[in-house]
């Protein structure tokens, strides 16, 4: 298909964490369809390989990597694997996350640490290491997937909302630290019908208390991600875009 020059990612290399399902999967497909080669990372290698096969079927190159991106060593190994395969990264999408609900007074230290590791510690490690390499090379774009819970704090998910608030702040700081060659932006996602919605009530899967009156379909994350990833958005950095149905 003919590609819009504003959204032509031919020759670009993208790393998407949590790329085997949900919002990450949608972003992988959209970028590959527009010419990008993709590194797909998640805990389950088999799931990543299935998505990598879809990318290859589009005529792109793909690398599937099993990585627990809440751990710094795993983050470093993931970055090195991407550079060993492609020699560069043009776009990093920190999408992996977890948001288990638990009364705050019952939360264990281990679960607290796991939530912060996956939602803040790991994204910091990946973003800082990739930003450094991007700045030494031709530059690039980093997109951190946050949550509306970072802006509208909710009960029962306090560590998650706190970690995502930290992610928002981190994006602005890194944008200042590694600019102008590296752009760092944030998408604050609202309720989406990903696998997390399996635990919702039937009513919640149909209706939400937002301006659109409904949860989002996973593919509705795509346009915001493409805009921030595109080199045409060269004057957009340190920004936070809400894709939340008007929460």
Q: Which residue has the tokens 């399902």?
A: 21
Q: Is the alpha carbon torsion for 220, 195, 21, 135 positive or negative?
A: positive
Token representation of residue 173? 């700081």
Q: Which residue has the tokens 């990008």?
A: 36
The answer to whether residues 215 and 192 touch, using CB atoms and an 8 Å cutoff, is yes
Give catalytic status of residue 178 as yes or no. no
Selected catalytic residue, list 25, 83, 160, 178? 160
CA angle at 60 for the pair 58 and 66, rounded to the nearest 5°: 105
Query: What CA–CA distance (Å, rounded) separates 67 from 73?
Result: 10
Active site residues: 160
């Amino acid at each position: 298909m003919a590609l819009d020059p504003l959204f032509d990612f031919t020759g670009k290399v993208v790393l998407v964490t949590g790329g085997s399902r949900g919002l990450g999967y949608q972003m992988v497909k959209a970028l590959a369809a527009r010419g990008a080669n993709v590194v797909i990372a998640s805990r389950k290698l088999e799931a990543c390989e299935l998505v990598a096969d879809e990318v290859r079927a589009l005529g792109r190159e793909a690398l599937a990597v099993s990585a627990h991106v809440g751990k710094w060593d795993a983050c470093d190994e993931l970055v090195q694997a991407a550079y060993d395969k492609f020699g560069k990264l043009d776009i990093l999408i920190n999408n992996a996350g977890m948001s288990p609900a638990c009364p705050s007074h019952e939360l264990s230290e281990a679960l607290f640490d796991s939530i912060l590791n996956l939602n803040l510690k790991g994204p910091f490690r990946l973003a800082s290491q990739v930003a450094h390499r991007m700045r030494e090379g031709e530059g690039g774009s980093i997109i951190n997937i946050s949550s509306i819970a970072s802006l509208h704090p909710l009960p029962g998910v306090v560590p998650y909302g706190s970690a995502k608030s930290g992610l928002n702040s981190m994006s602005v700081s890194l944008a200042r630290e590694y600019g102008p060659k590296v752009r760092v932006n944030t998408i604050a996602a609202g309720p989406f019908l990903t696998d997390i919605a399996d635990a919702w009530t039937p009513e919640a899967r149909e209706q939400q208390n937002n301006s659109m009156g409904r949860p989002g379909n996973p593919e509705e994350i795509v346009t915001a991600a493409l805009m921030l990833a595109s080199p045409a958005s060269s004057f957009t950095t340190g920004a936070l875009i809400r894709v939340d149905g008007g929460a």
